[in-house]
Structure 1
Amino acid sequence: MDRQITASTCCYCGVGCGVLIEHDGERILGVSGDPAHPANFGKLCSKGSTLHLTGDLTARALYPELRLGKGLARSRTDWDTALDHAANVFAQTITEHGPDSVAFYISGQLLTEDYYAFNKLARALVGTNNIDSNSRLCMSSAVVGYKRSLGADAPPCNYEDLELSDCVMIVGSNMAYAHPILFRRLEEAKSRRPQMKVIVIDPRRTDTCDLADLHLAILPGTDVALFHGILHLLLWEDWIDRDFIKAHTEGLAELKKLVRDYTPTMVSQLCGISVEQLQQCAEWVGTSPSFLSLWCMGLNQSTAGSAKNSALINLHLATGQIGRPGAGPFSLTGQPNAMGGRETGSLSNLLPGHREAANAEHRAQVATYWGVDQLPENAGLTAIELFEQMRSGKIKALWIACTNPAQSMPDQTAVREALQACPFVVLQEAFHTTETAAFADLLLPAASWGEKDGTVTNSERRISHVRRAIGAPGEARSDWAITVDFAQRLEKHLRPGATSLFAFETPAQVFDEYKQLTRGRDLDLSGISHELIDQLGPQQWPFPTGAREGTARLYLDGVFPTASGRAQFVTDPYRAAKEQRDARFPLTLITGRLRDQWHGMSRTGTAAQLFGHVSEAVLSLHPDELRRHRLQPGDLINLKSRRGAVILPVSSDDSVRPGQAFLPMHWGDRFLKGGVNTLTLPAFDPLSKQPELKHSGVRLEPVNLPWQLFALIEGDVQQHLETLRPLCEAFSYASLSLAGRERPALLIRAASATAPEPQLLRDIDQCLGLNDGPVLAYDDPRRSIGKRVRIENSRITAIRLAGETLAQHWLQSLWLEGRADEQLRRWLLAPLSAPPGNTGAPASDSKTLCNCMNVSQNAVCAGISRGLDLQGLKQELGCGTQCGSCVPEIKRLLAATAQPVAVTS
């Protein structure tokens, strides 16, 4: 094979890692970190290092599909028919109901060129500000925080600051899971400089906390009170920079009046921490030579998200810790190009070049540049508002691109009702398997990672060139090209005979037009081009025309892009989260990330090995909560909020406090019946309009579901998932996941109060290939128990247990080991179903601890029992030597098995 290497970027989080794609021109064969890329210097996390294993073609959208009426199935069509139909529907809708009757909901995973094309389409051609992005769910509170406090949406820091800082505060971020490459960098810096202080503020004790010198396990949503309490102590102890405050800020006098009341005792009670912890935190912040803060969704996804962001930035302004190495407020971006979206104006309140849609002068500037008379004045709908208006019938046509609102939006019952109610839904997407795809009247296949060309901006304002390695499969096309093609067709209806606004033939042309809208602005990137990045490497903005290198840090001169040139202290009081614990809903549900999954699992959900560490949705509860509810680990419960309910198992986890529960945010309806966001609430911050996805009021209710089902099928897991998932609707509880590496398989766990109709089991068996062939079977109709195992070439290839499932974990182990011995035959034909040699309980030590090197927890524990330390485990097993994400868990196992030292007198 003609193996080639193409340098590009990772498509997951906002770290913006460089990757080297190995391919033969037609297929992607492997991926490795790019040693020359300044974001990661060759390192990749467990997700990035498995990119070549994702994107299963059976999950990909390969050709346009059109539904000609609600309730009908979509059928394959060609691009001309698809886009002509879309242009006709949009044009007719705009003519009859006005431009604000249509909307666009796009994504932080799009490239900058894609974003710009959509913005020009919505604002210049359609004439609506109804264009919002899933970044509204991610970074919009950080945007407001930066703009209110510093004057512009511009993170001032650089990744090098993680290594240079003397005190690093991580707030509302399990950085070890969400941004692992940056966390490894911080980890290495602390190992070189142990005197560096690391403070982690998080209601849960996460893997990130293992690096912390101080963990403040505050009560959910109390961040503003905490920051005000820290500022109270900074002022009291005179740990502030008076010269900086006097020369470069304004508004402290008013803020002083507010924080005077946030005494240590009051803050201790509000936040659920000790006075001593608060004082220690304030001392390190106030006395360290440099202070850096890092934050993510724990601050942003809140009804007080904007206040939290500004209250944190207040600490930097009070101490003068901004505009120099190792210091500053540094938001960690959730998506690969959420920054690029903000730059191009892809939130409903923004315009390209960090302009405001509500600002008449800004609108005039952009309209003149685009060559149109005017831009729309009406305020655009933000994400939550958009789906509310769609549900009420005001939005008649919606174009969704590269995002999955039927999984990611809160209050999923309402969101799915809105999608169902909308007369025309277009989905421009790489994967036809997403939850949103079922609602699409028109599905347009988009190119994905490794198949498209453009740019992205990472968390440190660094622009990278995303390069295409192979062509897109089937008839899939690049997002910017789809958008431009549609816009040109829509122009014939809305601007007949006029010169096209969309005369683009390459993504470089799109970028070159867009960058001129940044000239002279705070983010000036007029000096950047695709070619320049290819020559000099990824560059940080601002990078004006004539520059020779990007700008590593902002505000070094203490001048801020505000009307006065001064940074602003923002005075917002603490306001509690929308839903507090009460008698009806006595638990606070916290959502967060898993180590090896990403967002809605559209991509990671196609790679079986990424399920090895955590294989299914489980609710984590403190052991005291389990005892209080008389539950055992593995028991099924009905988790209810004010909006919906989902059935799932519980686990014992002392990393969460009593009164709280934790559930990973990734599990949508495709993998867990109902999905996590059936529970979350749509209440949003009044300024950023970002919803409070992080915490909701919930309660546990017992369920009695004695009839259980377990199924496993090797082979085409995406096809099996597509055919078997609808059949699981008949069960009260259904969880689907993948397993294996060389031989991936789909796993199903389900439960109901009573046995289903026999035909349903026959249909499931048909999908599993268990109705004929080399199948061992046992049935006990009186007890509604049935067992089926397919054995081919002395290996298990399919399993179905119905009625009770005690043997599921034993059988799964046999499948993984590739054997089917005589014990299996004896067990199958026995009247009792208990597996040989054990109770059939899940073996937690069999999970994959290190995904990179395929090392199980069992192997690590065996190594520890032989006396191996961390270095020994790395050398012998290879675990922890690649991305390092497993190291905190290995350290905990080492600590748990450490022998007490004998003390003699």
Structure 2
Amino acid sequence: MEIDEAREVRTTCPYCGVGCGVLAKVAADGQVSVRGDPDHPANFGRLCSKGSALAETTGLDGRLLHPQIHGRGSSWDEALDLVGSTFSQTIAEHGPDAVAFYVSGQLLTEDYYVANKLMKGFVGSANIDTNSRLCMASSVAGHRRAFGSDTVPGTYEDLELSDLVVLVGSNLAWCHPVLYQRIAAAREKRPEMKVVLVDPRRTMTSDIADMHLAIAPDGDVALFTGLLAWLGQHNALDRAYITAHTSGFGQALFAASALDLAGVAAATGLSEDELGRFYSLFARTEKTVTVYSQGVNQSSQGTDKVNAIINCHLATGRIGKPGAGPFSVTGQPNAMGGREVGGMANMLAAHMEIENPEHRERVQRFWNAPAIAGKPGLKAVDMFKAVADGRIKALWIMATNPVDSMPDAGAVEAAIKACPFVVVSDVLAETDTVRHAHVRLPATAWGEKDGTVTNSERRISRQRAFLPVPGEARPDWWIIAEVARRMGFDGAFAHETPAEIFAEHAGLSAFENDGERDFDIGAYAGVDEEDYDALQPFQWPAPSPGTPLWPAGHLPPHKGGDRMLSRPSPIFNVARQAPAPKQLISPLAGEMAGRPEGGVQARHPPQAGGTTGHQSTRFFANGNFYTPDRKARFIAIRPTVETRITSDFPLILNTGRIRDHWHTMTRTGKSPRLSQHIAEPFVEIHPVDAQRHGIGDADIARVSTPRGEVLVRALVTTRQRQGSLFAPMHWTDQFAARARLDTLTASLTDPVSGQPALKHVAASIEKFTARTFGFAVTRKRPATMAADYWAVARCRGGWRVELAFANDDVDWTAFAGSLFDTADAEVLAYHDREAGQHRIAAFDGEHLTGALFIAPGPVAVSRGWAAEQLGEVHASQRQRFRIVAGRAGAGRPDAGATVCSCFNVGVNQITAAVAAGCTTVDAIGAALKAGTNCGSCRSEIRAIIAANQVQAAE
């Protein structure tokens, strides 16, 4: 019978803060497919490698599908009753500050709102913090110090309109690839556009940089205070803007002048010539955007770094104008939404201040709450210290994995294990955090969730469910509301749908606002189910009709071409009795018929140097900040030089992320193709440091700090700054033997924001002496791996495993049996004990069950080819012996290590294409498709082309 084509559902990507639109489709056979939404103003159809692989992450393997109490199954009523009664009893006996919530930027805004409301308005404590504290808390603090509010003034459009993009502490090519591609496309159309990268590492982002400033760790404060002083010395200030719209400039300039150019050079590790060229470029380029991310935020000086950057933009009047402004890009999909609802311990909902008694009274009145938190709560690092010392006795962790992601993660794990009552609501049944929960609550996953998220440019988008809810999983907002009801707060948590929560959230944003607060989405306060379902992406502020964008008595911005007065068209009449006319459902109103769910008429991607075709709102071009005098505040920052290295720990460890994995791999670890680019934990080390410490390429290295050690693969590369190491934070006990990187980091935090310093850790490195190395492929994930070093990753048809052993006294036949079942299998084996070579393969009929390769050095077997054999039919003995030999037959070229994850293109394929005459990235794309989707691999392709051309020339 003929089956109708599956309906595409318009939703939003659950990865970084770019907030890309996604079209998801479920076929009649249940197969999920995804593609970029060409109408979404964040990405216009582009997706990165992670977004492109989302369909591979929606399976139910490993899911937590039923509530559990102490490891046994329970009903929802039993689990919720226990959580509600235990939290209530703990509060009654020890006070409200004896309980805490640790939440996540993976939550939707509606989830976040209900959690914040329960803790701050009904429990009466502000002990709710979020893993976004690890991501952008310093940006929030810097914004509030400078602007009086947590306002991101710019838009993505500014990246394309600028003449100079300064990327600070941001590997945009790997961590925000769609924004990187937007900049790359704009630069290709306007070659005069310049890009400067400020980063200790020469990351893949340097591929589009005209200038790479390989700054010393934490040298950013000196760099930008030096810039402010230089601007003052060279008469490159916008004195009219400074006088009319700012305060504190004199003090800031005086503090910045503490170092002369030579002093700045010493503090940053840059030459005076490099500084002079960068400062001159900044001074003469009016349309400058400074984009910053974790390299700025994750620092003990993070807030000062943010304000040092903002100071330079205020001093030149480059803020809130097309193509100009400081721009914080967030790491998580809804870090911004969490900020809007007050999801951090030192904030109130709707960008109100917990320190302000008038704001507290207003929120309490709106919620009709019995109490309101009277002071800031414990920020993430301090929260887990309070768990450790017993001040917090009941802890609820939602949608995050702090045992792996928090600094000093070993101490965090010990604290959670010792806590009297721990609740974890999550998607997976086994994570390094879930395993310590007394109560486990199954939450809905990305494809099953319904709500909203806000991206880095203040754009709110709908996340729509396209998959049925499996088992007994429930939305996070529902779980929180049910616990609240059991704590006696029934009336305030009677929400039946996320639409009702969003309407309340929007109503609070407008409540007694009148333009006094930046966050106002009052136009949506009357949203009903139908309107909410059709909600289109929009930027805030979006006040209800008649509400000023700026307070009375303050001049609005001029009506020049910056569109600052272009308020989004009101979508809903807040005071209405009947729904607003449907033609007003979207500010981008278009034909709904025939479009995907929630669809609008197609919009075209922006032209480089042009506009997006979507309405943008910018703040602050002509002042009107949210400080008492409506002026921005310069923050006086004195540059300091900080070093943490010692004779025992002589290197600086910088932690971060890689292209194809996300946080602790609870989602990306499910995708075979995302694990092929980099399949095991590693540490980058400069060749000089590698030689000094006896480290060879592909050795197993032991990286140590005063808190612990990890074992990771060594990657010797000149991209790494000498004296520094880089290692990614993704690997957990679920994926590697000893690679939980944040067990090495300290609980040192920024004194203003409370954000941990994860980029500047004193460390040492040494070679781990392995006598034997191994590699295996297996159809089923091994239950145990008795090796000193192991790392497991998904591949098509099964799993791949890297191994290393401190000795070679192992029964390899028995070890193979522990990796894959050999009991009833046909086993072929090759043993050369003299050479230390062992190869064992097991077959179930015509299919490979598993293969193990052992050698005295790193195993020289093509990983891609070996993994492919799990899906092949092996009918003949010849085919089976090839597996034992570890070699493909004639006519089966090895693709090599994966470079392009989107199309599974390997390095050997690219090398062959270069030899055949493809000498540009575009030519490689035409021949192999590599680099033609998300573009994250284009810099690697360019490097392969260059290396092969040099080799040919030699």
TM-score for both structures, normalised by structure 2: 0.87
In structure 2, which of residues 15, 19, 26 is the aligned counterpart of residue 16 of structure 1?
Answer: 19
Distance 1:288 1:155, change over 3 A: same
> Is 1:898 aligned to 2:949, yes or no?
yes
Match of 1:706 in 2: 771
Distance 1:397 1:899, change over 3 A: closer
> Is 1:848 aligned to 2:898, yes or no?
yes
Answer yes or no: is the 8 Å Cα contact 1:59–1:606 preserved in 2. no
Distance 1:183 1:306, change over 3 A: same
Aligned partner of residue 898 in structure 1, secondary structure: helix
Answer yes or no: is the 8 Å Cα contact 2:779–2:799 preserved in 1. yes
Distance 1:767 1:75, change over 3 A: farther
Aligned partner of residue 527 in structure 1, secondary structure: helix
The amino acid that maps onto 1:42 is G
1:558-569 to 2 correspondences below 5 Å: 558-569=623-634
> Is 1:543 aligned to 2:533, yes or no?
no
Aligned-pair CA distance for 1:667: 1.6
Answer yes or no: is the 8 Å Cα contact 2:68–2:439 preserved in 1. yes
Answer yes or no: is the 8 Å Cα contact 1:150–1:568 preserved in 2. yes
Distance 1:341 1:699, change over 3 A: same
The amino acid that maps onto 2:345 is S
In structure 2, which of residues 899, 909, 926 is the aligned counterpart of residue 859 of structure 1?
Answer: 909
Aligned partner of residue 433 in structure 2, secondary structure: helix
Distance 1:853 1:572 in 2: 48
Distance 2:862 2:326 in 1: 50
Aligned-pair CA distance for 1:230: 1.1
Match of 2:409 in 1: 412
Aligned partner of residue 180 in structure 2, secondary structure: helix
Distance 2:320 2:837 in 1: 68
Aligned-pair CA distance for 1:150: 1.4
Distance 2:69 2:625 in 1: 51
Aligned-pair CA distance for 1:753: 3.9
In structure 2, which of residues 839, 843, 846 is the aligned counterpart of residue 791 of structure 1?
Answer: 843
The amino acid that maps onto 2:805 is A
Match of 1:70 in 2: none
In structure 2, which of residues 693, 699, 711 is the aligned counterpart of residue 635 of structure 1?
Answer: 699
Match of 2:438 in 1: 441
> Is 1:871 aligned to 2:935, yes or no?
no
Please give the per-residue CA displacement for 1:724-776, whole angstroms capped at 9, x wherever unaligned.
2xx33x53322222223xx24242424234646x6x98486255112331222
Distance 1:46 1:323, change over 3 A: same
Distance 2:860 2:307 in 1: 51
Aligned-pair CA distance for 1:673: 2.5
Distance 1:232 1:665, change over 3 A: same
Aligned-pair CA distance for 1:827: 8.6
Distance 2:923 2:887 in 1: 35
Match of 2:791 in 1: 735
Aligned-pair CA distance for 1:637: 2.1
> Is 1:212 aligned to 2:209, yes or no?
yes
Distance 2:653 2:431 in 1: 25
Answer yes or no: is the 8 Å Cα contact 1:710–1:808 preserved in 2. no
The amino acid that maps onto 1:777 is A
Deviates more, 1:612-621 or 1:767-776: 767-776
TM-score for both structures, normalised by structure 1: 0.92
Distance 1:855 1:202 in 2: 29
1:791-830 to 2 correspondences below 5 Å: 791-792=843-844, 794-801=846-853, 804=856, 807=859, 809-810=861-862, 813-816=865-868, 818=872
Distance 1:638 1:180, change over 3 A: same
In structure 2, which of residues 654, 663, 685 is the aligned counterpart of residue 599 of structure 1?
Answer: 663
In structure 2, which of residues 238, 244, 258 is the aligned counterpart of residue 247 of structure 1?
Answer: 244
Distance 1:781 1:290, change over 3 A: closer
Answer yes or no: is the 8 Å Cα contact 1:736–1:749 preserved in 2. no
Answer yes or no: is the 8 Å Cα contact 1:241–1:318 preserved in 2. yes
In structure 2, which of residues 620, 643, 653 is the aligned counterpart of residue 555 of structure 1?
Answer: 620
Aligned partner of residue 775 in structure 1, secondary structure: strand
The amino acid that maps onto 1:459 is S
Please give the per-residue CA displacement for 1:493-543, whole angstroms capped at 9, x wherever unaligned.
xx6xxx621110010001111212211221101112475576572110000
In structure 1, which of residues 70, 85, 90 is the aligned counterpart of residue 82 of structure 2?
Answer: 85
Distance 2:186 2:687 in 1: 35
Distance 1:899 1:348, change over 3 A: closer
In structure 2, which of residues 365, 370, 374 is the aligned counterpart of residue 368 of structure 1?
Answer: 365
In structure 2, which of residues 725, 730, 741 is the aligned counterpart of residue 661 of structure 1?
Answer: 725
Match of 1:677 in 2: 742
Please give the per-residue CA displacement for 1:81-134, whole angstroms capped at 9, x wherever unaligned.
111111122122122221111110000110110001101111222221110000
In structure 2, which of residues 159, 168, 178 is the aligned counterpart of residue 171 of structure 1?
Answer: 168
Distance 1:103 1:576, change over 3 A: farther
Deviates more, 1:788-797 or 1:464-473: 788-797
> Is 1:775 aligned to 2:827, yes or no?
yes
Please give the per-residue CA displacement for 1:816-868, whole angstroms capped at 9, x wherever unaligned.
25476867877999xxxx96799xxxx99711111111111111110001111
> Is 1:747 aligned to 2:801, yes or no?
yes
Aligned-pair CA distance for 1:632: 1.6
Deviates more, 1:101-110 or 1:868-877: 868-877
Identity %: 41
Deviates more, 1:528-537 or 1:105-114: 528-537
Distance 2:29 2:339 in 1: 34
Q: Which runs of 5+ in 1 are unaligned?
A: 68-73
Please give the per-residue CA displacement for 1:410-452, whole angstroms capped at 9, x wherever unaligned.
1111011011111111111111232211111111111111211
1:74-223 to 2 correspondences below 5 Å: 74-223=71-220
The amino acid that maps onto 2:929 is G
Distance 2:659 2:855 in 1: 33
Distance 1:270 1:363, change over 3 A: same
Aligned partner of residue 809 in structure 1, secondary structure: coil
Match of 1:71 in 2: none
Distance 1:850 1:867 in 2: 19
State the Cα RMSD in Å.
2.6
Distance 1:711 1:897 in 2: 31
Aligned partner of residue 738 in structure 1, secondary structure: strand
Distance 2:858 2:824 in 1: 24
Distance 1:754 1:815, change over 3 A: closer
Distance 2:775 2:25 in 1: 38
Aligned-pair CA distance for 1:580: 2.0
The amino acid that maps onto 1:686 is P
The amino acid that maps onto 1:52 is A
Answer yes or no: is the 8 Å Cα contact 2:256–2:637 preserved in 1. no
Answer yes or no: is the 8 Å Cα contact 1:25–1:470 preserved in 2. no
Match of 2:612 in 1: none
Match of 1:572 in 2: 637
Aligned-pair CA distance for 1:795: 4.9
Match of 1:889 in 2: 940
Aligned partner of residue 789 in structure 1, secondary structure: strand
Answer yes or no: is the 8 Å Cα contact 2:737–2:791 preserved in 1. yes
Match of 1:696 in 2: 761
Distance 1:767 1:624, change over 3 A: closer
Answer yes or no: is the 8 Å Cα contact 1:765–1:800 preserved in 2. no
> Is 1:389 aligned to 2:386, yes or no?
yes
> Is 1:620 aligned to 2:620, yes or no?
no
Match of 1:522 in 2: 518
> Is 1:501 aligned to 2:492, yes or no?
yes
Match of 1:652 in 2: 716
Aligned-pair CA distance for 1:151: 1.4
Aligned partner of residue 276 in structure 2, secondary structure: helix
Q: Which runs of 5+ in 2 are unaligned?
A: 546-567, 570-586, 588-614
Distance 1:456 1:612 in 2: 30
Distance 1:318 1:424 in 2: 51
Match of 2:751 in 1: 686
Distance 1:780 1:101 in 2: 62
Answer yes or no: is the 8 Å Cα contact 1:712–1:748 preserved in 2. no
Match of 1:38 in 2: 41
Distance 2:198 2:864 in 1: 39
Aligned-pair CA distance for 1:26: 8.7
The amino acid that maps onto 1:589 is L
